[in-house]
Amino acid sequence: MSKTDQFAIPLFALVDKSKVDLSQPLPESLGEQLALYLEGQFGIKSLSSRLLLFKEDPFLVLHDVSSECLPQLCSLVDVQRTQLFRYERTDESTVTLVPLNVKID
């Protein structure tokens, strides 16, 4: 069994800004659909996913991503010219996103 982690990707690196209205609740189904797309197209498997509004910025959070999928995840954020974050939850109300500083050429 490989090690798993939680990661977050800025939503607008994956979806056009004009397609998401941040004044409305983020649709749960969009997170699920994006996770299925990432698995089907890039082999990035996660146990579950959800959309998160963090400091007014939307993110796709992928839970329990296997370490075997990290090269694909890093390639995705490189191609999308965005940043990958480690998602950490210390309690019910405290979330931290730690940038992983994936090199973007």
Structure tokens at 99: 């940038």
CA distances from 83 to 25, 32, 44, 51 (A): 24, 20, 16, 16
User: What ranges do the domains of the chain cover?
Assistant: 4-14+26-99
Residues of the chain with pLDDT > 70, as a percent, come to: 92
Q: Which class does domain 4-14+26-99 fall in?
A: alpha beta
Residues of the chain with pLDDT > 90, as a percent, come to: 65
Q: The pTM is what?
A: 0.88
Q: What is the rounded average pLDDT of the residues 55-82? A: 92
Query: Residue 10 carries which side chain, given as an amino acid letter?
Result: P
pLDDT tens string 15-49: 999 988 888 888 889 999 999 999 999 999 999 99
